[in-house]
């Protein structure tokens, strides 16, 4: 099947590459000429495990092409998939300018039937707006061509996006158009061989499903962070509590890990956008307002612990940071808790030496003008001359460190652990102070 993918970010590039790997002919459009040049040269602009060989394999086989030519992208396929950004506006609502611009382009150049599929995370009612702008463009041309608009939201986790696409939990198809539904069934057939994963529903239900899923996961995170802070205040251990409640099958263990808050390109944006949509509908989601507030507060917990130990004035202090990306297996630092912490430490007069296995280049770009932030190439290098170690992201290589080496390099034998990676007794046995989240030490 011929497929056009508009947008080559996380969603567009992963989706396009995986569809090509199943034998489809995929045309990826992006209006950023530098990004397209990089992709055509075999360089992947994002860090996503397993993606690069899939892109190269299918580009070399001729099943995956990258271009800045919108007319060619529209001509390539009946199936037009939109995976462009929907950044938050100043009021928290999703900015649909890129989605609607892509829809206008399709309406401007289409010469036959089209099925327009929104992969981007968009508010309820976006399909109606897409339909309207396509119709406007056709009317300008005095054309009357059939088209359908489908909501097919993505559920890809950064760091595991390829696996999530190849083995999906579910494929949501929001449409009442029989031909469009049949096209999507054909497209996803290779990815659901052992049992049916497609769920067909109304467009508006599909649009809301994506927001509701992310909001639910964000709620679990903020709830556990609140309980962790309470556990710390009253002498309980949040890890024992987590196991106790996670064993209930109605709750389960997923997304019950306390830490320093969520970040990335999805949860913060989607929680705010859903709040805005709810307010506009006259049904404010008060729970989500609390989820958002708790998360912003939780990003400051490590800073509070550091100031409690070393004082409010951190001038002359240096802190080693392990982890900069908002989660492991990605280089994405958007809304990352590390950025909040770095701002706090630098604002209090401290300097930072930070290491991340994947986000070094992004961090160097973000802090190019900040002389007190140094990005280094190894975990041990970050420790040199540091007053304490701060663990912010739970990368695998941080899970079983050499505690004697850590102690030997630190001026103060102290670890501030924002992800509860270590057992308090183990850390104490090596003569290190330990400051986790919600644990008894």
Active site residues per annotation: 266
Those residues whose C-beta lies under 8 Å from the C-beta of residue 242, and which sit 6 or more positions away, are: 224, 253, 256, 257, 258
Those residues whose C-beta lies under 8 Å from the C-beta of residue 137, and which sit 6 or more positions away, are: 104, 106, 107, 108
Pick the closest to residue 36 from 57, 61, 55 (CA basis). 55
Classified as helix, coil or strand, 263 is: coil
Those residues whose C-beta lies under 8 Å from the C-beta of residue 34, and which sit 6 or more positions away, are: none
- State phi, psi for 278 to the nearest 5 degrees: -65, -40
The helix or strand, by DSSP H or E, that contains position 389, with its residue range, turns out to be strand 388-391
Instruction: Report how far residue 28's alpha carbon sits from residue 73's, in angstroms, rounded to the nearest whole number.
Output: 7
Instruction: Report how far residue 237's alpha carbon sits from residue 227's, in angstroms, rounded to the nearest whole number.
Output: 10
Classified as helix, coil or strand, 126 is: helix
Neighbours of 241 (CB within 10 A): 18
Instruction: Report how far residue 145's alpha carbon sits from residue 241's, in angstroms, rounded to the nearest whole number.
Output: 59
Instruction: Report how far residue 441's alpha carbon sits from residue 436's, in angstroms, rounded to the nearest whole number.
Output: 8
Sign of dihedral through CA atoms 296, 302, 308, 314? negative
Instruction: Report how far residue 292's alpha carbon sits from residue 255's, in angstroms, rounded to the nearest whole number.
Output: 16
Instruction: Report how far residue 413's alpha carbon sits from residue 435's, in angstroms, rounded to the nearest whole number.
Output: 11
**HSE-up of residue 352 (Cα within 13 Å, Cβ side):** 29
- State phi, psi for 342 to the nearest 5 degrees: -60, -45
Q: What is the DSSP letter of 189?
A: G
What order do you get walking across the sheet with 433-435 strand by strand? 373-375, 351-355, 318-322, 388-391, 414-417, 433-435
Q: Are 271 and 291 in contact (CB under 8 A)?
A: yes
**DSSP labels for 150-170?**
EE----PPTTSHHHHHHS-S-
């Amino acid at each position: 099947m011929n497929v056009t993918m508009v947008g080559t970010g996380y969603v567009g590039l992963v989706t396009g590459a995986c569809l090509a790997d199943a034998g489809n002919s995929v045309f990826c459009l992006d209006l950023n000429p530098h990004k397209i040049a990089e992709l055509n040269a075999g360089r992947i602009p994002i860090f996503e495990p397993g993606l690069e060989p899939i892109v190269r394999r299918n580009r070399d086989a001729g099943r995956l092409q990258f271009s800045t030519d919108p007319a060619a992208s529209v001509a390539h396929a009946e199936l037009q998939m939109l995976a462009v950004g929907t950044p938050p506006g100043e009021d928290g609502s999703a900015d649909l300018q890129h989605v609607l611009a892509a829809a206008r382009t399709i309406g401007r150049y289409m010469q036959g039937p089209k099925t327009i599929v929104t992969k981007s995370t968009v508010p309820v009612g976006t399909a109606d707006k897409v339909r309207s702008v396509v119709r406007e463009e056709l009317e300008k041309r005095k054309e009357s061509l059939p088209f359908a608009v489908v909501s097919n939201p993505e559920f890809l986790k950064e760091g595991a996006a390829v696996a999530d696409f190849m083995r999906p939990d579910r494929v949501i198809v929001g449409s009442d158009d029989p031909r469009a539904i049949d096209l999507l069934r054909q497209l996803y057939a290779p990815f659901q061989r052992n049992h049916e994963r497609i769920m067909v529903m109304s467009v508006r239900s599909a649009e809301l499903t994506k927001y509701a899923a992310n909001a639910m996961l964000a709620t679990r995170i903020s709830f556990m962070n609140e309980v962790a802070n309470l556990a710390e205040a009253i002498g309980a251990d949040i890890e024992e509590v987590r196991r106790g409640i996670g064993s209930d099958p109605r709750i389960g263990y997923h997304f019950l890990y306390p830490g320093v808050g969520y970040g990335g390109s999805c949860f913060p944006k989607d929680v705010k956008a859903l709040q805005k949509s709810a307010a506009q509908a006259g049904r404010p989601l008060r729970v989500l307002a609390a989820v958002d507030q708790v998360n912003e507060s939780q990003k400051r917990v490590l800073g509070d612990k550091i100031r409690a130990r070393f004082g409010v004035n951190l001038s002359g202090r240096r802190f080693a940071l392990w982890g900069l990306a908002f989660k492991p297996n990605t280089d994405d630092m958007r809304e990352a808790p590390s950025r909040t912490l770095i701002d706090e430490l630098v604002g209090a007069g401290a300097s930072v030496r930070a290491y991340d296995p994947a986000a070094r280049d992004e961090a160097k770009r973000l802090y190019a003008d900040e002389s007190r932030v140094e990005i280094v190439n190894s975990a041990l290098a970050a420790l040199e001359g540091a007053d304490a170690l701060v663990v912010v992201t739970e990368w695998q290589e941080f899970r079983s460190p050499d505690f004697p080496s850590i102690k030997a390099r630190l001026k103060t034998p102290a670890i501030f652990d924002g992800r509860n990676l270590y057992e308090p007794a183990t850390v104490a046995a090596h003569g290190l102070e330990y400051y986790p989240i919600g644990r008894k030490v």
